[in-house]
Amino acid sequence: MTIKHTPGPWTIHKDYSRANYTVFDADGNYGDTSVETIDANAALIAAAPDLLQALNGMLQLFADTQDMEDYETVQFARAAVYKAVGA
């Protein structure tokens, strides 16, 4: 599978006066503005609630497993959930 969306991490600039959000790539650029990339970004954003729910479910499965906190992947997953929910 080829990733066509803007590579992360993304940062968001909020302009409340214009009710506008701008997403920047890791280098602080808007990223590729081709139709393919915009479509891929939109698909990723649309899938985000499902991805968050799936990740939360997986973390719940690991919640009762000893020593799972030692795994970097679990820590990364928890950080991603916190970032997604604004915690």
Query: How high is the mean pLDDT in each 10-residue block of the chain (87 residues)?
Result: 78 79 80 80 91 92 71 86 85
What is the model's pLDDT at position 37? Answer: 83
pTM for this prediction:
0.71
DSSP-assigned states of every residue in 3-43: --SPPS--EEEEEGGGTEEEEE-TTSS----SHHHHHHHHH
